[in-house]
């Protein structure tokens, strides 16, 4: 083989195993999921499913599970708002105010993820417990009725979602705030901008790539999550993930589970590409 031909082939050889793996275990399964979502819903796993292009599965599942669907995006949206409120000051403080403590504080942001996700979520059960100190305190100051609860409420689920995915939002936000040229802020204040104006007109727009990336990294896992709803909530707080889990693993209703899964994926992809287009950034590629 000539040197030139080898050079031309090399990238394809390097790509072959990884690409094959992704096609085989990401692409093909998605096609199979799409197919399963169109199976005849009257079939069952034991008798086998007939492919009938049952597009009706989609309106059926939306109708049957509208509360869980809207709750998924509602809770994830609320948690996102909360996470932005908590995460922006944190990222800003680390990037611009922490000085030599910067790396230590960054480790503190990531450190919780060193422990198992499920074990940490269970710890919230202890923190929010009816006989715990937090509930006792809130009852004493009458922020909570004497028989009021935190655990097994929508509040607990949103709190858990915010907690679990907050680092994913903070890290990209930190990265873009860190890169921000502080001379631009000095220029703004030289030109008589108040700190608030400087923030609104300089810092916020320049941190947009970080905001977009962080929002996506937060929202994608949060809207598909069902661990928080299961462990910190009740069936009244169930999200779409809980329904998909039970459709595939308990009720063994594959067409329904597949249709819901595919619907979730479609909504998420629409959000992702909408965000990326609005942000006008191709950096992710």
Q: Which of residues 131-150 bind another protein (CB under 8 A)?
A: 131-132
DSSP code of residue 115: S
Quote the CA–CA distance of 92 and 55 in Å, as a whole number: 48
Q: How far is the CB of 6 from another protein (least distance, A)?
A: 11
Q: How far is the CB of 248 from another protein (least distance, A)?
A: 5
Quote the CA–CA distance of 217 and 165 in Å, as a whole number: 8
Q: Which of residues 255-274 bind another protein (CB under 8 A)?
A: 257-258, 261-262, 264-265, 268-269, 272
Residue of 43, 67, 154, 224 that binds another protein (CB under 8 A): 224
Residue-wise DSSP of 254-283: HHHHHHHHHHHHHHHHHHHHHHHHHHT--T
| CB-based burial label for 17 (10 Å; 0-12, 13-18, 19+) | exposed
Quote the CA–CA distance of 104 and 168 in Å, as a whole number: 17
Binding segment for another protein (CB under 8 A), chosen from 54-62, 114-122, 179-187, 204-212, is 114-122
Residue of 114, 146, 183, 205 that binds another protein (CB under 8 A): 114
Q: Is 189 in the site for another protein (CB under 8 A)?
A: no
Residue of 65, 73, 75, 163 that binds another protein (CB under 8 A): 163
Binding segment for another protein (CB under 8 A), chosen from 106-114, 135-143, 179-187, 203-211, is 106-114
Residue 194 CB neighbours (<10 A) = 10
Binding segment for another protein (CB under 8 A), chosen from 125-133, 137-145, 181-189, 200-208, is 125-133
Quote the CA–CA distance of 259 and 265 in Å, as a whole number: 10
Q: How far is the CB of 207 from another protein (least distance, A)?
A: 15
Residue of 43, 52, 77, 86 that binds another protein (CB under 8 A): 86
Q: Are 156 and 223 in contact (CB under 8 A)?
A: no
Q: How far is the CB of 71 from another protein (least distance, A)?
A: 15
Q: Is 210 in the site for another protein (CB under 8 A)?
A: no
Q: Are 210 and 172 in contact (CB under 8 A)?
A: yes
């Amino acid at each position: 083989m000539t040197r030139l031909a080898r050079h031309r082939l090399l990238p394809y050889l390097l790509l072959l195993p990884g690409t094959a793996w992704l096609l085989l275990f990401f692409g093909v399964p998605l096609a199979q999921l799409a197919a399963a979502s169109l199976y005849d819903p009257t079939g069952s796993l034991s008798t086998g499913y007939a492919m009938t292009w049952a597009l009706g599965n989609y309106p059926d599942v939306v109708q049957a599970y509208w509360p869980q669907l809207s709750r998924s995006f509602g809770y994830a949206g609320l948690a996102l708002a909360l996470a932005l409120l908590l995460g922006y000051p944190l990222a800003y403080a680390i990037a611009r105010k922490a000085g030599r403590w910067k790396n230590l504080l960054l480790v503190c942001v990531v450190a919780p993820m060193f422990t198992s996700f499920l074990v940490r979520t269970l710890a919230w059960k202890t923190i929010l417990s009816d006989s715990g100190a937090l509930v006792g305190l809130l009852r004493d100051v009458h922020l909570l009725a004497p028989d009021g609860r935190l655990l097994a409420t929508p509040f607990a689920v949103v709190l858990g979602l915010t907690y679990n995915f907050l680092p994913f939002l903070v890290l990209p936000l930190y990265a873009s705030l860190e890169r921000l040229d502080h001379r631009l802020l000095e220029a703004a204040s030289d030109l008589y901008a108040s700190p608030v104006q400087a923030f609104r007109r300089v810092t916020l727009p320049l941190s947009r790539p970080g905001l977009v990336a962080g929002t996506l990294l937060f929202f994608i896992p949060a809207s598909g999550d069902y661990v928080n709803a299961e462990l910190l909530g009740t069936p009244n707080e169930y999200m779409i993930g809980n329904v998909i889990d039970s459709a595939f693993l308990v009720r063994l209703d594959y067409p329904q589970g597949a249709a819901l899964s595919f619907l979730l994926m479609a909504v998420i992809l629409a959000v992702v590409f909408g965000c990326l287009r609005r942000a006008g950034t191709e950096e992710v590629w």
